[in-house]
Structure 1
Amino acid sequence: MALKFIDAEKHINDTIIFPSFSLDVLPNEVAAICTSVNVREQLIDILLGTKLLSNGNIQNLSEKRLAFFFLNDGLYERLSVNELLKFYQQLYQSDESTENIIRIVQLDLKKNKKIKDLTYSEKKRAQLACILLQNSEVYIMEEPDQNLDVESKRIFISVLNQLRLTKKTVLILTSHLESAVTVADKTYRLDEKGLHIVQTEEVQQNVSDVEIEKEDKGIQPIRFEKIPTKVNEKIVLFNPPEIDFIESTDGQSFIHIKGENFPCSFTLNELEERLLPFGFFRCHRSYIVNLQKVREVITWTRNSFSLVLEDEKTSVPLSKTKMADLKGILGLK
């Protein structure tokens, strides 16, 4: 069963929570919407039916075949893992085998252990087991891999693969883009400008393979404006205006966007050259900033300066030698 958003929009009084968007999440597909905490919570309430859209609708929502994996979902901590799953099996009148579900989330050795004695990651795996027992057609997951240990993340991704194979529909709601592109088939951003897809592609070849292929086919270099970053085995492409600033640490460049950072294979010098036409400025030997995102220039001492960005929380160092250059760009004397 597909989950279909049609011109979905939410506003409270004169405040737009999210603008109108349409989206089809298909069976055997894992889609992720990366958005703010406020928007995420509103979407969950709407999917639960406790709040209504201002405009538009969500098809198949009335079927009540949704299973929810919440970020904060209290389990019955006095029960053992096995007792908890038996309870949920009866609650949902499930034909699923609890032994099989326990094996899938790899809690075999902990099945007689009380929930309160499990680690955080093990509790999340028990929570995952509970929603698998429901055998629903659509799964809504809120920050499902947040703060999980490495083993639990691996198990979570394995479960997502099984849900794909059984033609389930999965929608992940998160504020972490890195998490979204790691686990989802399609990743979207939902912000004040609406819903737009985050372009990703699987890494199939290494750089040398690509260069050889170019030589064989005689491909001519073209101007490419997007900046590639790598997240696990995916390449994520960002438009320059999305970038807040770039930092170089121990020879590695990191692209910073809305509080998250992504590694980039280009050096700071290469990025400076590529981004100069888009209004970026080398404000420090280790930093490049998007001047369109700068709100204030703060002078701490005669030799110490900072650039404060639009969120008024993030600041980037400005070196003394670059202060004169910045004044020239701004038309100040």
Structure 2
Amino acid sequence: MSILKINNLEKHDGHALIFPPFSLEVSAHEAIAIHASTNVRLILLKILVGEMPASNGEWTINGKSYSESKKDYFEQVGMYFLDDGLYERLTVKDHFDFYKKLYHSKLPIEEGLRIIQLEVKRNSKISKLSVSEKRRVHFGRLLFQNPALLIFEEPDQNADLETKRVFVKMVRMLIEKGKGVFVLTGNMESALAITNKVYRLDEAGLHMLDILSEEESTEELHRDVQNLEEKQKEEEIIVQPVRFEKIPTKVNDKIVLFDPPEIDYIESHEGQSNIYIKGEMYPSVFTMTELEKRLHPYGFFRCHRSYIVNLQKVREVVTWTRNSFTLVLGDTKKSSIPLSKTKMAELKGMLGLK
């Protein structure tokens, strides 16, 4: 059963495209995370709460639309925003008592305190709590509201480890109870801690990331090797000019798979190869030499001992001195990648320049 339905939602800001039309559903017993920039995240949230119109498309929560009935719409959804405030003069217990009465909740206050691990702080004023503890009070408020869909903006940003654990356990509990959970974040680790259903939303649209556990990744690699061995027995493979394969990166205990064209560049630092995609860094499971070999068919170039660059992302080649060169990428940060003198000559040859 789908709780949130987004159909061909699109947003332009003047002549700038924020995100093209996309569709998405969040069902009961499901958590979905969208990984996006701050600007994209804020605009999408403003659309969902009615503060900003969409350029096109529609969305409903449990069949209720914002345009038809604001009251019915907001009865279905609970939202946590990063800049939400609290009643600082109230104690934690009084705060929950207020929301219990407001939403006619049947959840015992002691149970709410237990879920967010604030039993010992029940009589403390909100103003005396740490930033992380205040975050947990926000989570508790949503428990008493008990909506069908819960939307979170950066729920664990700058939070301590205990609060992150509380949030992950709370999400699992909500999913078991049939709720839908929708998280918007700019932190991939946060997204993966909550769910394997992670999407990226940007000017290129919405697409789901391929995510495997380490066990699944090992099994898939084993299957690929077996398939290749069987294929080699059937026919002699003479030339394989292009290889269609994903590049795995490791985030906590998850393996995130990226298509080669998504990658901007790769940097080696203290023996670790790090892959950069839209300003985000992901540790690679391969060495620079292995990555160079794997990515060469896709137009990647080892421009420096410590760097491999996607030539399709290069916008400028800057000459500083006779022996100093830099590649400037076309990403939002205008990333600068060093180009060694010997590689400059090789690059000119590839480009057909003298």
SS in 2 for 1:225: coil
Q: Are the counterparts in 1 of residues 168 and 193 from structure 2 also a CA contact under 8 Å?
A: no
Q: Which residue of 2 aligns with 1:234?
A: 254
Query: Counterpart of 2:297 in structure 1: which amino acid?
Result: P
Q: Which residue of 1 aligns with 2:48?
A: 47
1:305 is displaced (CA, Å) by: 2.6
Q: Are the counterparts in 2 of residues 253 and 263 from structure 1 also a CA contact under 8 Å?
A: yes
Q: Are the counterparts in 1 of residues 319 and 326 from structure 2 also a CA contact under 8 Å?
A: yes
Q: Compared with structure 1, are the counterparts of its residues 47 and 328 closer, same or farther at alpha carbon in structure 2 (3 Å cutoff)? A: same
1:172 is displaced (CA, Å) by: 0.9
1:291 to 290, 294, 311: 311
Whole-angstrom distance in 2 between the partners of 1:251 and 1:220: 35
SS in 1 for 2:257: strand
Q: Compared with structure 1, are the counterparts of its residues 301 and 266 closer, same or farther at alpha carbon in structure 2 (3 Å cutoff)? A: same
Q: Are the counterparts in 2 of residues 182 and 231 from structure 1 also a CA contact under 8 Å?
A: no
Q: Which residue of 1 aligns with 2:141?
A: 130
1:243 is displaced (CA, Å) by: 0.4
Q: Which residue of 1 aligns with 2:235?
A: none
Are positions 1:262 and 2:282 aligned together?
yes
Q: Which residue of 1 aligns with 2:351?
A: 330
1:91 to 102, 105, 116: 102
Range with bigger deviation, 16-25 or 64-73 = 16-25
Query: Counterpart of 2:51 in structure 1: which amino acid?
Result: T
Q: Are the counterparts in 2 of residues 7 and 21 from structure 1 also a CA contact under 8 Å?
A: yes
Whole-angstrom distance in 2 between the partners of 1:162 and 1:306: 51
TM-score normalized with structure 2 length? 0.86
Q: Which residue of 1 aligns with 2:336?
A: 315
Query: Counterpart of 2:255 in structure 1: which amino acid?
Result: I
Query: Counterpart of 2:163 in structure 1: which amino acid?
Result: S
SS in 1 for 2:334: coil
Q: Are the counterparts in 2 of residues 17 and 39 from structure 1 also a CA contact under 8 Å?
A: yes
Q: Are the counterparts in 2 of residues 96 and 135 from structure 1 also a CA contact under 8 Å?
A: no
Q: Which residue of 1 aligns with 2:23?
A: 22
Q: Compared with structure 1, are the counterparts of its residues 8 and 151 closer, same or farther at alpha carbon in structure 2 (3 Å cutoff)? A: same
1:275 is displaced (CA, Å) by: 0.6
Pairing of 1:206-285 with structure 2 (within 5 A): 207=218, 211=222, 223-285=243-305
Whole-angstrom distance in 1 between the partners of 2:216 and 2:210: 18
Range with bigger deviation, 164-173 or 116-125 = 116-125
Range with bigger deviation, 272-281 or 290-299 = 290-299
Q: Compared with structure 1, are the counterparts of its residues 213 and 259 closer, same or farther at alpha carbon in structure 2 (3 Å cutoff)? A: closer
1:212 is displaced (CA, Å) by: 9.8
1:165 is displaced (CA, Å) by: 0.2
1:178 to 185, 189, 194: 189
1:16 is displaced (CA, Å) by: 2.9
Query: Counterpart of 2:25 in structure 1: which amino acid?
Result: D
Question: What number of residue pairs does the alignment pair up?
Answer: 333
Query: Counterpart of 1:111 in structure 2: which amino acid?
Result: R
Query: Counterpart of 1:239 in structure 2: which amino acid?
Result: D
Q: Compared with structure 1, are the counterparts of its residues 226 and 99 closer, same or farther at alpha carbon in structure 2 (3 Å cutoff)? A: same
User: 1:71-95: per-residue Cα shift (whole Å, max 9, x none)?
Assistant: 1111122222222222222232322
Q: Are the counterparts in 2 of residues 295 and 312 from structure 1 also a CA contact under 8 Å?
A: no
Query: Counterpart of 2:35 in structure 1: which amino acid?
Result: C
1:244 is displaced (CA, Å) by: 0.7
Whole-angstrom distance in 2 between the partners of 1:231 and 1:42: 27
Range with bigger deviation, 8-17 or 224-233 = 8-17
Pairing of 1:63-82 with structure 2 (within 5 A): 63-64=73-74, 65-82=76-93
User: 1:168-221: per-residue Cα shift (whole Å, max 9, x none)?
Assistant: 011111223332233224111222222211111233257599659966996558
Q: Are the counterparts in 2 of residues 82 and 111 from structure 1 also a CA contact under 8 Å?
A: yes
Structure 1 vs Structure 2: percent identity of aligned residues? 52
Whole-angstrom distance in 2 between the partners of 1:15 and 1:214: 45
5+ long unaligned stretches in structure 2: 66-72, 233-239
Q: Are the counterparts in 2 of residues 5 and 21 from structure 1 also a CA contact under 8 Å?
A: yes
Whole-angstrom distance in 2 between the partners of 1:238 and 1:217: 21
1:298 is displaced (CA, Å) by: 2.6
Q: Are the counterparts in 1 of residues 249 and 283 from structure 2 also a CA contact under 8 Å?
A: yes
User: 1:233-284: per-residue Cα shift (whole Å, max 9, x none)?
Assistant: 2211101111011111222211111111111111100100111111111111
Q: Are the counterparts in 1 of residues 279 and 333 from structure 2 also a CA contact under 8 Å?
A: no
Whole-angstrom distance in 2 between the partners of 1:174 and 1:8: 19
Whole-angstrom distance in 2 between the partners of 1:154 and 1:196: 27
Range with bigger deviation, 191-200 or 201-210 = 201-210
Q: Compared with structure 1, are the counterparts of its residues 312 and 163 closer, same or farther at alpha carbon in structure 2 (3 Å cutoff)? A: closer
1:195 to 196, 206, 214: 206
Q: Compared with structure 1, are the counterparts of its residues 44 and 284 closer, same or farther at alpha carbon in structure 2 (3 Å cutoff)? A: same
Q: Compared with structure 1, are the counterparts of its residues 313 and 80 closer, same or farther at alpha carbon in structure 2 (3 Å cutoff)? A: farther
